[in-house]
């Protein structure tokens, strides 16, 4: 059972970083199985659930099916300019290469080493190759076996010195997936349909919807919360813009809404206001 809402996938295409975290977690209710998830990061570095699927077991055919659906929904173009981060599951590593041949595939650092943690983190967060070599030599002096193990585990997939630019994602951990798994921990203990409904409600509660409400005015709604925003007047009824002199997050949702919905919503006046806002750093 595969789920990827249209608003979510369109939002990822236009407003998220080019990174996807993959992971699987066990269902703990009466009906056993696994939940495979694809999680992204938005422009504010927040967790952005993209798609999820319920399968009997975490095996290669299921991962392949999930990755192919994800590839088509997000129009990933073989993984061009994309980063995928996952564990060291050998089958998954091969499948990612098959479905997304152009992707940069990183691995969780916590799956690389559990010993010499402080020294290892220093190595993983090295941003230039020279520092990487110096820090690795320190590990070799302490434990040659650990050095050999780390060098055999493809440092290019877990050390920042070898990461490609362009994804706006420098983390060496997959905290976005772990965060989502923690959020749905109780949901995974429920029956299948109840779990999926709880995930759906969580997604809806964290999403904001924009409704035009007069000239240059908009209503931005999230569940039971609703705020009015006026771009020309430079104020929002949440009062943060007025109190601090710095715009809140809500004007960003309006500018993203224009991008997703298309230019048919833009009048010359709207376009000029958004253009001025972008130039002044307001939107």
**Residues 131-163: tens digit of each pLDDT:** 999 999 998 998 898 889 889 888 988 899 999
With respect to residue 158, please indicate whether it lies within any of the assigned structural domains: no
pLDDT, residue 217, reads: 85
pLDDT, residue 116, reads: 67
With respect to residue 96, please indicate whether it lies within any of the assigned structural domains: yes
pLDDT at 14 over 50: yes
Q: Which of 145, 177, 205 is the last residue of a domain?
A: 205
- Whether 199 and 221 map to the same domain: the answer is no
Identify the band that residue 102 occupies on the pLDDT scale cut at 50, 70 and 90. very high
- Whether 216 and 263 map to the same domain: the answer is yes
Q: Give the number of residues written for the chain.
A: 283
pLDDT at 52 over 80: yes
- Whether 177 and 65 map to the same domain: the answer is yes
Q: Which residues constitute the domain of residue 215?
A: 209-279
- Whether 197 and 84 map to the same domain: the answer is yes
Residue 34: left (phi > 0), alpha (psi -120 to 50), or beta?
beta
Q: What average pLDDT score do residues 203-229 get? A: 76
Q: What average pLDDT score do residues 195-201 get? A: 88
- Whether 82 and 105 map to the same domain: the answer is yes
Fill in the DSSP letter of residue 45.
S
- Whether 100 and 222 map to the same domain: the answer is no
Number of domains in the chain: 2
Fill in the DSSP letter of residue 155.
G
pLDDT, residue 281, reads: 40
* Average pLDDT in the chain: 81
- Whether 18 and 104 map to the same domain: the answer is yes
Identify the band that residue 247 occupies on the pLDDT scale cut at 50, 70 and 90. confident
- Cβ of 119: how many Cβ atoms within 10 Å? 18
pLDDT at 113 over 90: no
pLDDT, residue 183, reads: 87
> Structure pTM?
0.72
pLDDT at 7 over 50: yes
pLDDT, residue 274, reads: 44
- Whether 178 and 52 map to the same domain: the answer is yes
- Which carries the bigger pLDDT value, residue 161 or residue 218? 161
Q: Which of 184, 205, 226 is the last residue of a domain?
A: 205
Closest of 5, 79, 14, 13 to residue 256, by C-alpha = 14
């Amino acid at each position: 059972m595969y789920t990827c809402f249209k608003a979510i996938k369109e939002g990822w295409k236009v407003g998220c970083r080019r990174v996807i975290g993959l992971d699987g977690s066990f269902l703990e209710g009466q009906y056993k199985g696994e939940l495979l998830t694809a999680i992204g990061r938005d422009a504010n570095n927040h967790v952005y659930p993209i798609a999820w699927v319920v399968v009997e077991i975490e095996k290669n055919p299921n991962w392949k099916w999930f990755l192919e659906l994800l590839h088509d929904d997000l129009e990933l173009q073989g993984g061009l300019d994309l980063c995928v981060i996952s564990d060291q599951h050998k089958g998954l590593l091969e499948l990612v290469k098959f479905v997304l041949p152009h992707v940069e595939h990183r691995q969780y650092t916590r799956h690389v080493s559990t010993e010499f943690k402080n020294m290892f983190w220093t190595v993983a967060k090295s941003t230039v190759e020279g520092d990487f070599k110096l820090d690795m030599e320190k590990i070799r002096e302490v434990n040659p076996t650990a050095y050999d193990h780390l060098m055999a585990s493809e440092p290019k997939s877990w050390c920042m010195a070898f990461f490609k630019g362009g994804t706006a994602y420098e983390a060496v951990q997959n905290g976005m997936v772990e965060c989502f798994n923690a959020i749905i921990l109780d949901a995974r203990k429920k029956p299948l349909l109840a779990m999926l409904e709880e995930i759906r409600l969580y997604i809806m509660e964290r999403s904001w919807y924009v409704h035009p409400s007069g000239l240059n005015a908009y209503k931005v709604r999230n569940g039971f919360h609703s705020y009015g925003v006026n771009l020309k007047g430079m104020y929002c009824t949440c009062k943060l813009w007025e109190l601090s002199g710095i715009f809140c997050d809500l004007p960003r949702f309006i500018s993203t809404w224009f991008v997703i919905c298309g230019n048919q919503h833009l009048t010359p006046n709207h376009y000029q206001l958004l253009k001025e806002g972008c130039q002044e750093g307001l939107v």
